[in-house]
Structure 1
């Protein structure tokens, strides 16, 4: 039986202030799965009964409406991967998670996670912290979309997640930034021209 790599344990220890023993206990509920590029991890319209932690690879999290895909988030190494609202409510997911690259994910199902919460109080503390982090992230995303210019959003992406600019096609980055691909191309040209002058 394979075990999650130590860097995932270390991420959990830092993010949730866990001991190595607690992080190991948590990760023991997870099993390794490999996904191909373009393979679906969570399907929109289905109830999500699992939670993943990405060891290697990249996913896009999207909303789909009238055959139009809107990027909500990108999930890379060390990220949790799930449709959280669907997982909590047991209602069909409004999101779709799809692998952009060959991706290795450690996956736990709902029942195993419920048992973890029942048996180990630290897991409830983790859940409380996840809820807080998600609220703050969504607040910042909403603030940025409402108040920041497209260029400011792109510069923030380069500052906080520089790997994405290299790994993700421009049309997906544009959707994530709520601009057209043409606008993103113009922003990049302007920034390159300013850097040369």
Structure 2
């Protein structure tokens, strides 16, 4: 399980063995069933979650409608990040989609690591930057591309999620009406030559 975390960290920084060991010794392994809420609206987010196996989603409520802003798979982070870094109450829900195993890093433990290990503090800044960029890309894609383009881009980039994530969650994440999502899926299945991920 450590290898998947090491691969993620290597994208950002060459972390010395001592600091990697300190990080590993500070994280908790959590295994939860599907549809478990790790964070609810109004909670103070205590953990940064790294998905080892499984899927989790992040959403907020607009009236009674769930607006999904992230679907995290293996090798990705998920958290109510504004709450985690600021201490403010969360406006998001973090919920598992499948039985999921996480590495969880508590905020207070992270602060202790940063004060002792400079490269871990730098890693944290780089990860925060990456999370910000991901959010901006997500927002841009929802505005810039047509419904069909969003559907095609996501399915070509994430074919495994097409099989693993409930259709209503994908429709919400892509800002597509469920009936439109169903129509696009049916259309692409009937034209497999135009949809490599369905072959």
The answer to whether 1:121 aligns with 2:108 is no
Distance in 1 (CA, whole Å) between partners of 2:193 and 2:123 is: 46
Per the TM alignment, residue 66 of structure 1 is displaced from its structure 2 partner at its CA by: 2.0
Question: Deviation at 1:20?
Answer: 5.7
Are 1:109 and 2:138 counterparts? no
Alignment TM-score, normalising by the size of structure 1: 0.90
TM-score with structure 2 setting the length: 0.89
Residues matched between the structures, number: 193
> Helix, strand or coil for the counterpart of 2:50?
strand
Q: Within 1, Cα distance between the matches of 2:176 and 2:3?
A: 38
Residue 19 of structure 1 corresponds to which residue in structure 2?
15
The unaligned stretches of length 5 or more in structure 2 are 195-199
2:67 pairs with one of 65, 70, 75: 70
What residue number does 1:190 align with? 187
Q: List structure 1 runs of 4+ shifted beyond 4 angstroms.
A: none
Once structures 1 and 2 are overlaid, which stretch shifts more, 126-135 or 166-175?
126-135
RMSD of Structure 2 on Structure 1 (CA): 1.7
Taking structure 1 as reference, are residues 171 and 18 closer, same or farther at Cα in structure 2, changes over 3 Å only?
A: same
Alignment of 1:100 onto 2:109: no
With 95-104 and 185-194 compared, the bigger mean Cα shift is at: 185-194
More deviation in 112-121 or 151-160? 151-160
Q: 1:37 aligns with which of 34, 51, 55?
A: 34
SS in 2 for 1:16: coil
Distance 1:138 1:63 in 2: 14
Q: Which residue of 1 aligns with 2:197?
A: none
